[in-house]
Structures are given as C-alpha cells and as structure tokens.
Amino acid sequence: MCKHSRVGWVVAAILLLAACSPRDTETSRAVPVPNIDAEALEAADAANWLTYGRTYDEQRFSPLDVINTDNVKDLGLAWFADLDTARGQEATPLVIDGRIYVTTAWSKVKAYDGATGELLWQFDPEVPGKTAAKACCDVVNRGLAAWGTRLYLGTLDGRLIAIDRETGEPVWSNVTVDQSKGYTITGAPRVIDGRVIIGNGGAEFGVRGYVSAYDAEDGRMLWRFYTVPDAPGRNEAAYLRAAESTWTGEWWRLGGGGTVWDAMAYDPELDLLYIGVGNGSPWSQTYRSPDGGDNLYLASIVALRPATGEYVWHYQTTPGDVWDYTAAQHIMLADLVIDGETRKVLMQAPKNGFFYVLDRATGDLISANNFVPVSWATGIDMESGRPVEVPEARWDKTGVPTLVTPGPGGAHNWQPMAFDPDSGLVFIPVLLTAFPYILDANWESKSQGFNTGADFAAGAMPANPQIRSEIMAATTGALVAWDPVDQQERWRAAFKGPWNGGVLATGGGLVFQGHAPEAFAAYDAKTGVELWSTNAQTGVIAAPMTYFIDGEQYVAVLAGWGGIYPLATGVLAEVAGPVRNVSRLLVFKLGGGAELPPPQPEVIAPLNPPPVTGSEEQLAEGARHYGRFCGVCHGDAAYGGSLLPDLRRSSMLGVADAWRSITLEGPLEDRGMVGFAETLTADQVESIRLYVIKRANEDKALEDEE
Ligand code: CA
C-alpha cells in the first residue's frame, strides 16, 4: 500500500493504488489532460489542480510530498507576477499541463507558464466599475472551472464566460442574473459532466438566491434551483411549496436572500451536488418573516441531482437566521471511521461557529460541536438536529441591542479549509469576533446600500481608546486543527488579526496558510509547529495550492489584502497592524532564489479635517446615513482601511460642492463610487460630510494625545 492510501480518501487512494511505484509524483507527471472530462476530474492526478478544491470532494489535500517537513526550510520564491488590481485577491489557481490559470479582483483571468512565470495570455471581462457598489465584500473572485479545452469564469456583474484555455479568447458568454438587481458573482463555478454550475451573491442587497447549470459547450441554461420560495401560488416545485409554510409576511417583496455564493462539492458515486446557502435578506426576521419560522432553505446545506437540479435533501444549520450566519462556507466530503464504521460524511464549519458532520447520503446529523466560543446557542440538539438557542440572542425579536459572537463575519468565512487524511485533521481558518446587533426600528428597503434591518450606525465603534483597545484585544484569529471524529481541537496557531487565509494540506505532512500583516507560512500538520515562513509584503487571504512540473513541486498563492474585513470593520481591520495591498501571484519551490522588490514606502495623508460645524441633529443624521450607505466600503465609523479612500483624510471634506457632486451624481462611478441620487438628498449627503468631519476631528484629537 502507498503511504497515503487509506479509508476516507477514496478518489486519491484509488489513484495511488494504481500508481504506487516508483513514487506518487513521478506518476502524476505522466497524466496530460488536454481535454478535461469526468474521468480526469475524478482521477485528480497530483501534478495538476483541475477544480477549485483540487478534487470534487474539495479536501484541498495534495498527495505531493517532494516538499515535506524535512526540507520545507529550503523553500524559496521560484517566481512571482505583479497583478494589476490592488484589491482583495481570494482565488485558488488551477494548473493544467504545466500552465497556471488565476483569477484576480475585478474578475480578470491570467495564464502563466507554471515553471517560469511567463505570462501567456490575459483576459479582462471589463466589469463595469459601478458593479462594486453591489458587492458586499470587495470586488473579488475566487476562481475558475475547467472542462474540455475551456475555462469557465463567473464575473462580478453576473456573467458566466467560457474561455479558450489555449488562447484566452472568450467562446461564449451568458448573463446569469437580473443585472438591474443586487446580484454579483465572486465564487468559482464547478463542472459536472458537461454542466457548469454557478451561483451568485447579493443577500445584503435584496435578492432571491439560486444556483444554475449551463451547458459547457454552448452556454444554454439547463436548470435553475431557487433556494427560497416565491410568493404562495407561484411555486411549482414541491420543495419550494414545502418551504412556503416556514415563512410569513411578504418575504418575496424583499428578495428573501439565500444566495449560493461560494461552497459546492460533488460525490460522483452518490451523484449528489452539495450547495451551501447563505443568509436571509434582510437579516432581521422582524422585516423578512415577521411571525418567525425556519425560513427554508436559508443557511442550509442542500443536496441536488446535478443533471436536473432536483432537490434531494437539506440540513439547516441556522433556522430563522438573523445573524448573517450563512451556510455558504466550504463544504468538504470525506469518508471517516466513526464508532468503528466507515461513514460517507459531509463537513462544514459555517459562520455560526459549529462544526457539522453529516451523513452525505441522507443529510442526517452525525455530530456537531462549537469550534469557537458562541453566545447565540448552547449546543446542537442531536435528536432534532436543531441549535439550542439563547433566546436573548434574537436581537430583532427582543429589540434589545445585543453583542453576539460570532458576528456577521462568522467564526469561519469563505477562506477554504483543508483536510489531511494522514492525521485525520481538518484545518479551519478561524475568526474570533463579536458584533453589536441592533434593530433599525425605522428600516425600509432601499435600492442602494445594505438591506439588513440592522442599525450599523448605532453599533459604530466609539472614538474611545479604552473601548477600542478592549474590542481589538478580543478580536483575533487562528488556524485551528480540528478532529472531525472526536469533534475536538488538536492544535492552533494564533494570529493577531482574525482575517487569516485559506489552507492547503499536502502529502509532505505540511499545512500552508497566509495571514496578516504579511506572512505566508508552513506548519507541521500533526503538531502545528511553524516550520517555514516568508514575508509576502501584504496580507494573504487566498488559499495556496500546489502542482508538479518536471521533477519540481511548486506551491502557489495569491497575495493581496482585501475582502469584507479590511473594507468594513474600521479600526478593527488594523488589529494585526496596518496592512497594505500588494497584489501578486507568489510561486515557491525548494531552493527558489527569486526575490521580491523592496516594498514601497506607504504614503498616508495626514488627518487634517476642517473644524466641526454640523448641528447635533445633522451629525446624528449623517451618522445614520453613513452607517447604512457608506460604512461597509469606507469603514465602520468612517475609519477607512487601506483599499479604498479613507474619507477622514479626503481633500473633499472641506469642499461641500465637490462632495455633493461625487456622492449624488457619481462622476467616479467607473472606480466603483456610484452616485446615490436615487436614494439620498443633497441635505442628507451634506449631513454625511459633516459627520465624517466630526469623526476625523475625534480621531485627530486621539492622535494628538498619543
Ligand atoms: Ca451575508
């Protein structure tokens, strides 16, 4: 038997049994895949990386062991490529026959020679800049799918595009969403038997979630699976009619949410496609479904037939979600020995802080345990499979402002986990955060900005150094090694900031992960001891991957700080220190001797605001509008991050006319700053200006005290 073949790792084990000599990596080199089909995707040879999570089971484990615990200390930069988008880089590259294909922010695609880094082609789908205002969480993209001789890309503005892998030329393009609504695509498509599966995001923007399948050959839509019911009487499918009674009020007017914005996995043997469903739109049930209810299929894992989109089973992680506890997080399949029996399981660590192990044939709950401290529930009832809620955590029902952990960023977000079949551990990029949920008593749905029903202004961080430092100290992150059989933590690497990167596990006994402010590191999978690290000059949030060309194993990762956390969390985004965005593809190999250029000094404009002039009423109104329409991009309490203009430092602060023109008419729309004329009046945007002036003066006073 090969060292890595064991129960619980079916696809790779079959490959390795067939490929035992002389060594895994030698054999993997000899499997060119010019035409990717079901067989190639299921075989998943180790030289290539053919689908988002490497294999259909999305384990993000590579059997490659050229780089291992003994020699990882000699890992060096083989080559790097600067990217032309200084925004969050979240993609996992694909590697096919020696070429590496990556997506970047703004849904661009680039192809390089995997050994030399030579740029072979690039494709820019020219996403309109104004689309940024519909993206909850930065203008990111998480990757491609491959089938036949093509690549498949979902673009931020909702298109699915087939690209010729050899030339980078688009072959077909199909709009998958109503572009007049708040839909975006950031997730990677998957391809199952010639069907390209794609979801979308937008549950903060009043949309109704779904996943669709398109014919890989000609782009025809084959089926669409909605995750929440339409109005009663308008639902044909039985699973949607069954869901109607779990909703009240007129949810369909508000969209309902339930977007499938990231996770998918596939079991070829059971022929089941698993999708992760997101939060409700709006967050508050008081508005979304006033008499409560489970609100199916929000925050659920749903199993479908990939050929037809037919519903098979679901498991709801957070019934009647009001905390933005999406179940869109990484879905991973494995075969685990539990109580002496080999079980086909599905694993997920959704935002709500519990680690779930389900029977993936039936959706039955096998076990669940919290992997972080949680305040919204005391556990999962194994009889019903439902959380045992803490009633006070239902902030929108009580109407009482409530600090809940985890917050809407989750205990785990989109950052992919990894599984090591040798140790049996799942590695989770964990966030330890809390959030003050406060009902917006006067909420109404708007065509622009977040539609949550929560009052972000009332929960904004005060300019109080003690409160700030206490909350910052409680806001951390960790790479956690989790035993999914015993539902216990085995080791953790703790970080200063919560927003750490996706994970890769390898046959070399290694776990690779990046974090803020600028490290990319390798850990011993069994012990968590850091064996190697390098300075990436920026925060790394994307997941690393690995491939093999001509006797060399390479480890690649996209570097580039961004995503929701640096945009929206204000001062908390600086928990790990100020983090810049330097967007690059970094590729490492043993003995690699390439060097990054020295980092450019960062120039930050001083805080130099005009004096505070607004009346108390104007400042309060400005705070309210800022919290609802500005803060998720420009930072909580106007404390800006490194990605977008820090409004406290803006030269427009003292120029009321220019401020009004930019915020209402949208002359900077191509850069993502849309005009808000359909939503806000001139007096209201002036109140926002006065509020930002006040905030800038408060923070300047704090700086002067230091
Ligand atoms: Ca959300």
Give the whole-angstrom CA distance, residue 308 versus residue 320.
28
Distance CA 609, CA 649 (A): 7
Per-residue pLDDT averaged across 645-668, rounded? 96
Mean pLDDT, the chain, rounded, equals 94
Q: What single string gives the DSSP state of each residue in 326-361? A: -S-S-EEEEEEEETTEEEEEEEE--TTSEEEEEETT
Residues 6+ apart with CB under 8 A from 470: none
pLDDT computed for residue 31 by the predictor? 67
User: Looking at domain 616-705, does it have CATH number 1.10.760.10?
Assistant: yes
Whole-angstrom distance, CA of residue 224 vs CA of residue 624: 38
Residue with tokens 């391809």: 191
pLDDT tens profile 319-355: 999 999 999 999 999 999 999 999 999 999 999 999 9
Cα–Cα distance for residue pair 380/290, rounded to 1 Å:
25
Ligand 1 is an ion; its neighbours by CB within 5 Å are: 203, 279, 324
Percentage of the chain modeled with pLDDT above 90: 93
Number of H helices, E strands in the chain: 12, 39
- Report whether 619 contacts 686 (CB < 8 A): no
First to last CA, the chain: 64
pTM summary value: 0.95
**Residue 326 Cα, ligand 1 centroid: separation in angstroms?**
6
pLDDT value for 706: 79
371-409 pLDDT, tens digit per residue, is 999 999 999 999 999 999 999 999 999 999 999 999 999
Ligand 1 centroid – CA 280 distance (Å):
8
Give the model's pLDDT for residue 15.
Answer: 40
Q: How high is the pLDDT of residue 23?
A: 41
Q: Is the confidence at residue 102, as pLDDT, over 70? A: yes
Compute the distance between CA of residue 247 and CA of residue 231 in angstroms, rounded to an integer.
10
pLDDT digits over 292-312, tens only?
Answer: 999 999 999 999 999 999 999
Cα(285) to ligand 1 centroid in Å equals 14
- pLDDT beyond 50 at 288: yes
Q: What is the pLDDT confidence band of residue 682, given thresholds at 50, 70 and 90?
A: very high
What single-letter DSSP state applies at residue 415? S
Catalytic residue numbers read 324
Peptide bond into 232 cis (omega under 30): no
Q: Is the pLDDT of residue 553 over 80?
A: yes
Q: Sorting pLDDT into bands at 50, 70 and 90, what band is 642?
A: confident
Count CB-CB contacts under 10 A for residue 47.
Answer: 27
Q: Cite the residue boundaries of each domain of the chain with CATH code 1.10.760.10.
A: 616-705
| CA 574 to each of CA 169, 397, 496, 562, 642: distance values in angstroms, whole numbers, following the listed order | 40, 33, 10, 12, 10
Share of the chain above pLDDT 70, in %: 96
Residues in contact with 206: Cβ distance below 8 Å, sequence separation at least 6, in sequence order = 181, 182, 254, 255, 281, 282, 445, 451
Q: Helix or strand or coil: residue 664? A: helix
CATH of the domain spanning 176-373, picked from 2.40.30.10, 2.60.40.420, 1.10.1470.10, 2.40.128.630: 2.40.128.630
Residue carrying structure tokens 């704090």: 702
Checking if the pLDDT of 318 tops 70, the result is: yes
pLDDT tens readout for residues 20-62: 333 444 444 446 888 999 999 999 999 999 999 999 999 999 9
pLDDT in tens, 414-471: 999 999 999 999 999 999 999 999 999 999 999 999 999 999 999 999 999 999 999 9
* Contacts by residues 240-248 (CB-CB < 8 Å, ≥ 24 positions apart): 242/296, 243/296, 243/297, 245/293, 246/293, 246/294, 246/295, 246/296, 247/289, 247/293, 247/295, 247/296, 248/289, 248/290, 248/291, 248/292, 248/293
Whether residue 686 is predicted with pLDDT greater than 80 in this model: the reply is yes
Rounded distance from Cα 532 to ligand 1 centre (Å): 35
Strand-pair category, 159-164 with 170-175: antiparallel
Ligand 1 centroid from CA 279, angstroms: 5
Tens of pLDDT, residues 198-238: 999 999 999 999 999 999 999 999 999 999 999 999 999 99
Q: Can you tell me whether residue 641 is helix, strand or coil?
A: coil
Ligand 1 centroid vs 259 CA: distance in angstroms?
9
Q: How far is the CA of 452 from the centre of ligand 1 (A)?
A: 9
The CA 356 to ligand 1 mean position distance, Å, reads: 20
Torsion angle defined by CA atoms of residues 477, 560, 427 and 577, in that order, rounded to the nearest 10 degrees: -20
Q: What is the pLDDT of residue 641?
A: 87
Segments of the chain assigned to CATH 2.40.128.630: 176-373
Residue 66: alpha-carbon gap to chain centroid = 30
Provide the CA 555 distance to its chain's centre, in angstroms.
21
